[in-house]
Amino acid sequence: MSAQQDFCANYKGQELWLNALDWERALEWREAPAEVWAVDGERAGTVQTAEPLIYVKLDGAGHLVCDPPDYSKAHVPRQA
């Protein structure tokens, strides 16, 4: 999970690291779209999935991911 406004552990670096991982589903991961993730009907961020890896980027959140609080309390999406 990354927070869009986190300047300590920025999402750009995390995305570069995730895209560089060498694993059996690496190509599927890199080709997976970032889909909109909503909480209570409102956009909360994006989610990218290649099981078992799930990456969520929260819109407008900072380093502690407690603002906006509704996003941090919501269940992280899981694909079946």
The predicted-structure confidence for 1-54, as pLDDT tens digits, reads as follows 777 777 677 888 889 999 999 999 999 999 999 999 888 888 888 999 999 999
Nearest Cα neighbor of 60 from 77, 48, 42 is 42
**Fold annotation for 2-73:** Rossmann fold (3.40.50)
> For residue range 60-80, what is the model confidence (pLDDT) as tens digits?
777 776 655 565 556 555 543
Question: Residue 79: its pLDDT value, please?
Answer: 47
Secondary structure (H, E, C), 59-75: CCCCCCCCCCHHHHHCC
**Whole-structure pTM value:** 0.78
Question: Residue 2: its pLDDT value, please?
Answer: 76
Angle CA(35)–CA(40)–CA(46) in degrees, nearest 5? 20
Asked if 66 and 5 count as a contact pair (C-beta separation under 8 A), the reply is no
